[in-house]
Amino acid sequence: MRIYLPTGRGLVWLYLLIVVLLAGCGARQPALPHLGPDDVVLAFGDSLTYGTGVDAANSYPVQLSQLIGRKVVAAGVPGELTAQGVTRLPGMLDAVHPKLLLLCLGGNDLLHKLDAATIATNLRTMVYEARQRGIAVVLIGVPEPRLFGSVPRFYADIAAKADVPYESHVLKTVLFDNTKKSDPIHPNAAGYRMIAEALAKLLHQTGAI
- For residue 7, the model assigns a pLDDT of 54
Q: Is the pLDDT of residue 1 over 90?
A: no
Mean pLDDT of 4-26: 42
Q: For residue 8, what pLDDT band results from cuts at 50, 70 and 90?
A: low
- For residue 24, the model assigns a pLDDT of 38
- For residue 11, the model assigns a pLDDT of 44
Mean pLDDT of 189-200: 98
Look up residue 125 and give its DSSP letter. H
> Is residue 26 in some structural domain?
no
At 78, give phi and psi (nearest 5°).
-55, 135
Q: Is the pLDDT of residue 10 over 80?
A: no
> Is residue 22 in some structural domain?
no
Q: Pick the more confident residue, 193 or 6.
A: 193
Spatial contact of 141 and 103, defined as CB atoms under 8 Å apart: no
Mean pLDDT of 166-179: 95
CATH number of the domain at 156, please.
3.40.50.1110
> Is residue 23 in some structural domain?
no
pLDDT 10s digits, 36-87 = 999 999 999 999 999 999 999 999 999 999 999 999 999 999 999 999 999 9
For helices 189-205 and 60-68, angle between their N-to-C axes, nearest 10 degrees:
40
> Is residue 13 in some structural domain?
no
User: What CA–CA distance (Å, rounded) separates 181 from 176?
Assistant: 9
Q: How buried is 201 (Cβ within 10 angstroms: 0-12 exposed, 13-18 middle, 19+ buried)?
A: middle
Q: For residue 28, what pLDDT band results from cuts at 50, 70 and 90?
A: confident
User: What CA–CA distance (Å, rounded) separates 190 from 127?
Assistant: 29
Mean pLDDT of 183-199: 97
Q: For residue 147, what pLDDT band results from cuts at 50, 70 and 90?
A: confident
Q: Which domain holds residue 179?
A: 36-205
> Is residue 169 in some structural domain?
yes
Mean pLDDT of 143-152: 87
Domains: count for the chain: 1
Strands (E), 77-204: 100-104, 136-140, 166-167, 181-183, 186-187
> Is residue 9 in some structural domain?
no
Q: Count Cα neighbours of 81 within 13 Å in the Cβ-side half-sphere.
A: 13
Spatial contact of 54 and 189, defined as CB atoms under 8 Å apart: yes
Mean pLDDT of 88-107: 98
Spatial contact of 155 and 106, defined as CB atoms under 8 Å apart: yes
> Is residue 70 in some structural domain?
yes
> Is residue 171 in some structural domain?
yes
